[in-house]
Amino acid sequence: MKIVTIVGARPQFIKAAPVSQALRRQHHEILIHTGQHYDRAMSDLFFDELSIPRPDYELGIGSGPHGWQTGQMLQRIEEALQAEKPAWVLVYGDTNSTLAGALAAVKLHIPVAHVEAGLRSFNRTMPEEHNRILTDHCADLLFCPTQTAVNLLAAEGVTRGVHLVGDVMVDALQTHGALAARHATLAGRLGLRPQGFALATIHRPYNTDDPARLTAILDALAGLQTPVVFPLHPRTRAALTHNGLALPANVIAMEPIGYLDMLALEQAAALILTDSGGVQKEAYCFAVPCVTLRPETEWVETVEAGWNRLAWGDAAQVIEAAQRPWPTTPPAPLFGDGHAAERIVRLLAAADPAPQKVVAS
């Protein structure tokens, strides 16, 4: 069976790695990389570290306004799908690459499978929220990471083709987490001891593009009075420069880092502060306290378990959330057993459709 997988951003590379490995044991996978993340630190390095096969199509779209970027992806993906005529199109998460892949497929009457279906932040100002909702309502197979995701789809009337499979990021952590810990050197090179520092990641526009919000986050990092390792997303670095904002003295800034270095830092950190969905989950799985710098999260289970706290007010609120006592018992395994990729491949094979007629545009 031929399956086209569409990725474009580093969280999708992580999710696709275990599924691609499982798929290629029995099926023919064609990999399309839209180029949404296009520099080496944001793309190529992840392919190398995760042993993802090189893409069959590298579209090189790059950054730009949402409408332009999604439109460019839609056109180029459609051309690839018409050439390949796959049985399924497999998309991940909630990026513009996800939506463009799903729309291109349904316009050509090719079935769509969505990995990480059913997530909702209920914040319609986020482009990701629109992407994930539209993709879920296009999809023929919806692979949910949690029961919460299944329930949220049911509340929208989506029950057909919905499967609880677990989170493929847990598969990736089980494969790469121990390797990252064994070969961790970055913290030592920075002169940091395990559990002697915090780790911060910021990339969402509502944090980076509002100078007042970004200033509050920097003030909060300063108030932690501990070293803070801060890999800078290109958007964040540009915002700091544009607004003339200086990093606090306790913040150690660096360029974006690879997946293994990031996992190693997460495991060694005493605290993580982030607006990333994936980093929230990784913190939970590593039993590292996490403060999410957002007004909401898709991963409500981590908040309910006490290992994740939302703090989107001023610096004092963030500092209070970080310094309040954290749980002492290990977190429950909320996100599956590390075999989500195998379940996804079995379900795709079982739903193998009759040959599709790919229509001309």
Q: Is 5 helix (H, G, I), strand (E, B) or coil?
A: strand
- Asked if 20 and 53 count as a contact pair (C-beta separation under 8 A), the reply is yes
Q: Taking Cα atoms as reference points, which of 280, 348, 334 lies closest to residue 148?
A: 334
Instruction: Note if 203 is an active site residue.
Output: yes
Distance CA 149, CA 145 (A): 7
Q: Taking Cα atoms as reference points, which of 355, 349, 326, 334 lies closest to residue 145?
A: 334
Distance CA 189, CA 182 (A): 15
What amino acid is encoded at 77 in this protein? I
Contacts of 244 (CB under 8 A, 6+ apart): none
- Asked if 228 and 250 count as a contact pair (C-beta separation under 8 A), the reply is yes
What amino acid is encoded at 6 in this protein? I
The one catalytic residue among 203, 233, 242, 339: 203
Q: Is 324 helix (H, G, I), strand (E, B) or coil?
A: coil
What amino acid is encoded at 2 in this protein? K
The catalytic residue positions are: 203
